[in-house]
Structure 1
Amino acid sequence: MSTARRGVKYGLYTVILGALVAGTGTVVVGQVRDDAAAQLAQEAATVEVAAAEAHVPEGASSADVPLVSDLATQQLQHVAPASRSQSRASLVDGVTFTVVVDGATVEVTSAASTLSDALAEAGIVVGWDDQVSADLAAAPEPGAQVLIGRGGTQYVTEQVLTPHETEERRTSELLEGETRVVQEGVDGDDRVTSEITVVDGAEVARRTVVSVRSAEPVTEIVEVGTRKPTPAATSSGSGSTGSSGSGSAGAPAPAAPATPVDPGTSRAIAQEQVASRGWGEDQWICLDSLWQKESNWNHLAQNRSSGAYGIPQSLPGSKMASVADDWRTNPATQITWGLNYIEGRYGNPCGAWDHSKRRNWY
């Protein structure tokens, strides 16, 4: 080997780690003994470079560049490789992040390779339905905040009603403006069981598991009158001659004057009770017209649609039991209850008759 290419070597503890850097004259040496540093520098300084070898032809590689002969001790760079324990220091120290769970914030430091393992080491159990804001299979990130929502599943069964429809049927059996319900409407009834997903006690999702219909909706049927009213006969009298208790100014006159009352009949009982309450003949005429319309004075009359019963068409009929228990068969009991109702709500029979003409009920 020529002098220009002679390597620098010092015992078993000297290793050449680098290469000549053009223009700097620096040799990188690893693990050089302190007591041999000066001798190594001296040997490197005595390397002779032949003039012919000093010429680097065009296209030559760095391996063909000769060593610079003038090297000083301070030009040697000593590099010591890190120990294996030092290279593991960052893994042992781990990363620090925070976890928000169960209403508390916990700081966690871990060297685990996954977030799942780091949480397990910290004693934080993640349930199957829990929701985590970060990927459990990824490495935990320094300074990150991980949110854990406690999840769960609930099942509830609720009643869901379907509103019924209404059908109107026109009929000449009723006067214009009058209506009659011939079939009561019924809402549809369903029992719906739902699966509800909750996170930290709050509902976040819902889906129907099963729906069972227990009752179909029933359409309500209402008859609407179309018959024109018969023109009322014009009275030649000067008006009411009744008592001061009439109090029904503006009440329409009955459709026709009251017919003679047969003794012992329901009408006779009612006429006597009207007089005993201080009402005059005008009030009797209004009452006669009202209850002719409602029941035709039949104490057994019952409305098939609504269930209203008796002469005054009490709804329900059992209300008349407040007067006596024989309300089903005794006209006097029904008349007493009916007059009490009229007086309490309308003041007198003409007030009730007025309302019935305008609303078709009283």
Structure 2
Amino acid sequence: MTKHGKRTPLLKSLLTSQQTAKVAALVAAAGLITAAGVVSRNFYQSDSTAPINTVTAFSATDSAASRSAARGAINSADKNTTFVTVKINGDSRVVLGEKPDMTTVKDVLETGNITLDPSDSVSPSLDSKVTEATVITIDRANADVETTETEIAFNEVRKETSDLPKGQEKVETEGQNGILETTALVTKAGDKVVSSNVFASWVKQAPVDKVILVGTATASSSSSSASLGTTTPAGEIQSWAHQYLLSNGYSEEDFTAANYIISHESGWSPTATNPTSGAYGLAQAYPGSKMVSAGADWQTNYKTQFKWFVDYCNQRYGGIVQAYNHWVTYKNY
């Protein structure tokens, strides 16, 4: 959904995203803070029996220049949208929300799914009014930023081409797994993880598909360019998406196009959270809450997210392949 560009460090172990055109996001983390009142145990508390709390979290610097850029991007995208900067353990984030629903610090925390421990305090106080110039400060003692990397599987794509004799095959590109980098604020008691709030998960390195050219040429055929080809799904989510498309009148080329876009945008992670652009989910929707039009479970359900992606491609570009063509040209869609 966003343009890609150079990333700048936000944390010691966190690189920024390839996507930079649209700034803003939902945030998540926990915090102990410098100045205000203690938050009750019933407010934003994590469930100790389920310490891993994956949330929609994005980040941006809190400089005046970045706030101006954020406002410009929001104005061009949705004039009803506003944002507030939150500093978590010294790192800056932006919580994106609707103007009527985000007027106090409490509103910002709720909108951003920010989780606080019982002993945490927040500055300014929860009932303080906020503007786009407000910086909410959150710190947490004994919490560390941890970054992990997981592989994104590459796909095998078979493309027919009349540049090869019929029946002959040739490997055009060898496959290579991608890398999904996930950053979390982790609190431990000894060696035991008490809570882990994921606030960034992005495609550090996109997978490279293994492309096999399949010859179709005969003595009487003329030369033609290769099609997008047929992609073999990898994993449960891709298998479902493939079947969904074919069952609804779409083609193998549509799935190949969809797979290419989503593999580069999110690595097929439903909770992918772009650190700088404010994009979320499989399709990196901006903001993620737009996907509520496809279902209330948009934050976690890959089926809901994929259906939204298909509708978005159809409405904005006239189809998935057309969206793919735009992505290949501009590195965003």
Mark yes or no: TM-score above 0.5.
no
TM-score bracket, shorter-length normalisation: 0.3 to 0.5
Q: Which has the larger radius of gyration?
A: 1
> Structure 2 length as normaliser, TM-score?
0.36
Determine which structure has greater relative contact order: mean sequence separation of CA pairs < 8 Å that are 6+ residues apart, divided by chain length. Answer: 2
> Structure 1 length as normaliser, TM-score?
0.33
